[in-house]
Structure 1
Amino acid sequence: MARLTTLLPRGVSARRPRLWRGAVLACAAAYFLVPLAASVVFTVDVPGKGLSLDAYGQIFRADGFTSSLLLSLELALATIAVVLLLMVPAVVALRLGAPRLRPVVDIVCSLPLVVPPIALVAGIGTVLRWGPEHLAATPFFQTLVAIQNPAFPVVLVLAYTVMALPFVYRALDAGLRAVDVRTLTEAARSCGTSWPRALVHAVLPNLRGALLNASFLTLALVLGEFTVAQLLGFQPFAVWVVNVSGSQAQLSVAVSVLSLLITWALLLALTSFGGGTSRRAAPRRKE
């Protein structure tokens, strides 16, 4: 029996979803853009002088801006390298050889979302205080001193790696779900390729979008993290912004607005690059 359908006037069924989408997008835009606009107005409105861009001009001349930003970028790059080196082989091996361990890995990688950063930094501080008392006569004492070097605190890289595990794992797992990893590795192995070369040349090119997403999430985490760095006594970019806000409020808000715009630009670049990659990789249909 033929399916009975109700004929509606042209444009009626399509117009209502468009109106709802427009209303939702307008509410979302107001929710995000109104606070941002208020922050911009606060940075350019100088009492008694009118509009001025002096706050933005002082950013690059402020003491500690360049050093703190470079430190945060260095920490972000190191964290991205460490967490990807740990998680990419782990998730590939989990999908190929030990799928039964997936629930265990899910729980372990989700623990940083349950444990608050204040508890994590309390544990790290306890270990760092315990080390000099018990390891002073051993070679590990110099290791504890080296990882707390203010020029490049490795201890922050280790802490950020743990905090980034949930986001990196979810991004890589979503990328692996869209790829037939077993077929790719078996095809590479049948051609005489070793396991590391099969991972690098066959699997990683198909995970480019997932790797970019994981890298961006880690970069955003490191640039915005404050609690761990502040309590451990280091001054990356987020800590510098908070310290400046006590004496130069307009400058701190201007730096926050600038960092937010840079983050949005990186996200848009990542989205366009990932979309371009997927379009190039998609096969063309024959008409």
Structure 2
Amino acid sequence: MARLNLWRWAVLGAAALYFLVPLAASVVFTVDVPGQGVTFDAYGRILSTDGFVTGLLLSLELAAATIAVVLLLMVPAMVALRLGVPRLRPVVEIVCALPLVVPPIAFVAGIGTVLKWGPEQLSRTPLFQTFVALQNPDFPIVLVLAYVVMALPFVYRALDAGLRAIDVPTLVEAARSCGANWPQALVRAVLPNLRGALLNASFLTLALVLGEFTVAQLLGFQPFAVWIVNVSGSQAQLSVAVSVLSLLVTWLLLLALAGVGGRTRPTSRG
């Protein structure tokens, strides 16, 4: 037993060093200015830097839209899959895992080809304006569609784990026997028992959207991750300071998610 505890602490210590040493080095780089000593000017300049607020708000808007779309798409589909055709579960799992197999560079190349082909072939049809609206720089809907596809593997795993932990057929039958229709049964009986899974799926999607760079950069948009890379060429300390703060905020969101999920579990059992 003592050896097991020693091995456990050794693994935890190695993991802590793996994560904390680079983070500490990044913090030192942002506050140690040659010739000036320790200063926090890099953190003070974050809010006043051009493009920071715009890029962050754009990423948050894209994240909110992506979370809404992917949950509206996946939750009813997975509940229906579990109730009606469970034999198709392997097929749906493979389809949802495809974004992990296709490289992002190939994925964005396909999107770019479609976006170029559409206006050329549909310039005299009403669909031309649709392609223009998809690429609106103020809110690029094409990024939302791309992020929905990229988030499918993570959302599927989170929701699948949540659905496996509850008896969906019994919940739906109980709601239907009380006079609820199918949408009411889903909203009032199933979703309250999937709070933890929904929070996990939302957080994973949020982390994906905030950190995604390849698709947004190659399509010519500038959300938060692209802004960090662009500003690093001229203001390295500022970009690292923003990265450190975004990492800390992500950790805080994860802790808050764990706390909310822990409080909801006793309720779902009841």
TM-score tier, shorter chain, comes to over 0.9
Give per-residue Cα distances to partners, 1:9-43, cap 9 Å, x unaligned: xxxx3x22221111111100000000000000000
Match of 2:132 in 1: 145
**Distance between the aligned counterparts of 1:98 and 1:190, measured in 2?**
22
1:250 aligns with 2:237: yes
Shift of 1:279: 3.3
The amino acid that maps onto 2:245 is L
Deviations 1:99-143 (A, max 9, x none): 111111011000000001111100000000001111011110000
Question: Does the alignment pair 1:122 with 2:109?
Answer: yes
Partner Cα separation in structure 2 for residue 191 and residue 281 of structure 1: 19
SS at 1:81 equivalent:
helix
Amino acid at match of 2:111: I
Answer whether contact 2:192 2:268 (CA < 8 A) is retained: no
User: Deviation per CA, 1:160-189, whole angstroms, max 9, x where unpaired?
Assistant: 000000000010000000000000000111
2:120 corresponds in structure 1 to: 133
Residue 257 (structure 2) pairs with residue 270 (structure 1): yes
CA distance, structure 2, for counterparts of residue 120 and residue 212 of structure 1: 27
- In the alignment, which residue of structure 2 is the partner of 1:90? 77
Which secondary structure does the structure 1 equivalent of 2:20 belong to?
Answer: helix
Separation of aligned partners in 1, 2:156 and 2:42: 39
The correspondence of residues 11-30 of structure 1 with structure 2, limited to 5 A, is: 13=1, 15-30=2-17
Q: What are the ranges of 5 or more consecutive residues in structure 2 without an aligned counterpart? A: none
Please list the CA deviations of residues 43-100 of structure 1 after superposition, one character each: whole Å capped at 9, or x if unmatched.
0000011000000001001000000000000000000000000000000000000111
What residue in structure 1 maps to residue 198 of structure 2?
Answer: 211
Which position in structure 2 is the counterpart of 1:156?
143
**C-alpha separation between the residues in 2 aligned to 1:258 and 1:104?**
40
Q: 2:226 aligns with which of 207, 228, 239?
A: 239
The equivalent of 1:79 in structure 2 is 66
Give the corresponding residue for 2:34. Answer: 47
Give the fraction of aligned pairs with identical amino acids, expressed as a percent.
Answer: 80
- SS of the residue corresponding to residue 193 of structure 1 reads coil
Q: Match of 1:260? A: 247
User: Secondary structure of 2:49's partner?
Assistant: coil
How far apart in 1 are the matches of 2:88 and 2:268?
32
Structure 2 CA distance for aligned equivalents of residues 223 and 131 of structure 1: 28
Q: How many residues align?
A: 270
Instruction: Say whether 1:111 aligns with 2:91.
Output: no
Aligned pair 1:99/2:86, yes or no?
Answer: yes
Note the residue ranges of structure 1 that are not aligned, 5 or more in a row.
1-12
Paired with 2:220 and 2:247, the residues of 1 have a C-alpha distance of 25
Structure 2 counterpart of 1:32, which letter? F
Kindly indicate whether residue 163 of structure 2 is the aligned counterpart of residue 176 of structure 1: yes
Question: 1:132, 1:218 → 2: CA distance?
Answer: 30
Task: Give the partner amino acid of 2:11.
Answer: V
1:209-241 deviation line (CA, Å, top 9, x unaligned):
000000000000000000000000000000000
* TM-score normalised by length of structure 1: 0.93
- In the other structure, the counterpart of 2:54 is 67
